[in-house]
Structure 1
Amino acid sequence: MESLQVQEYMNHYPVTFTAEMAVEEASLRFLKTKQIGGPVIDKNHHLIGFLSESEILAKLLESTYHNVHSASVKDLMRTDVLTVKPYDSVIELGQKMLQNKPKVYPVVDDNGNLLGTICRNDVLSAIDRHLRSGFKVGA
């Protein structure tokens, strides 16, 4: 099971954001994709941060209360992002997910360029598929 690699189960087309993007536009991306978090990238596709649905929600609630709409993604994004490599073990990532808070991890190459994301559901799916492949139908 250690041979299950992140690259086999990751989302190759995650929702992404730029630092300059308005919070309202980022919110629409979350609504359209139904993803709960996404990487913030620069023009060269290099990971510079991570934005979660909860950070957007907090800002929009504050904006509604104060009737102000002037924040951008760079004001909300986390820059201390936990990442994984495409060749990392899904099992080890699952264990990491039990110890750390992130539900979504950006997958980056050795140069820090974004390749995709992997979430808890992807890890569950990988483990489930592996376990089911070991059972014979009718056994």
Structure 2
Amino acid sequence: MQSLKVVDYMNRHPVSFKPEMTIEAAVDLLLQTGQRGGPVVDAERKLVGFLSEQDCLAAMLRDTYHNEQGASVADCMYRGEVVTVDAESNITDLAQHMTNNRPKIYPVIDTERQVVGVITRTDVLRAIDAHLGDNYSHN
């Protein structure tokens, strides 16, 4: 049977953002990678916020309306309590959280709140599908 731990399915090299980055640079990264958002980290890779496509879109619309540029990630990111997950968490527990309209992307953090990866709904689906496939092949 395959492992159902977050660490085995998370993206270990996600796009992350620095608070001082411009929104334009952040959007370029999102578009290049296809990631829908990502953690905002400080110089020690500690989580300080989260930047989503929606945050970027709102900032770019606002800048377009005012005919300005210059918004930074810090100006636009979500600063509240970012929902995170531990690398050793169980995928099925995370899947249950995700069914309640929770975030689509979870930063994976260590005990120091350093970002060590991200896990998405697609990653969780892949893990559960692999697990179910193993069960079907043994029956």
**1:7-22 alignment, distance < 5 Å:** 7-22=7-22
Q: Partner residue of 1:37?
A: 37
**1:50-89 alignment, distance < 5 Å:** 50-79=50-79, 80-89=81-90
Tell me the number of residue pairs that the alignment of Structure 1 and Structure 2 aligns.
137
Q: Which moved more, 1:63-72 or 1:115-124?
A: 63-72
Q: Deviations over 1:62-114 (max 9, x none)?
A: 11121111210011111220000000010000001112430000000011011
Q: Partner residue of 2:97?
A: 96
Question: In structure 2, how many angstroms separate the alpha carbons of the residues matched to 1:77 and 1:60?
Answer: 13
Question: In structure 2, how many angstroms separate the alpha carbons of the residues matched to 1:95 and 1:136?
Answer: 25
- SS of the aligned residue for 1:69 comes to coil
TM-score by length of 1: 0.93
Q: Partner residue of 1:135?
A: 136
Aligned-pair CA distance for 1:135? 2.0
CA-based RMSD: 1.5
Consecutive unaligned residues in structure 1, runs of 5 or more: none
TM-score by length of 2: 0.93
Give the AA of the match of 1:19: P
Q: Percent identity?
A: 47
Q: Partner residue of 2:117?
A: 116
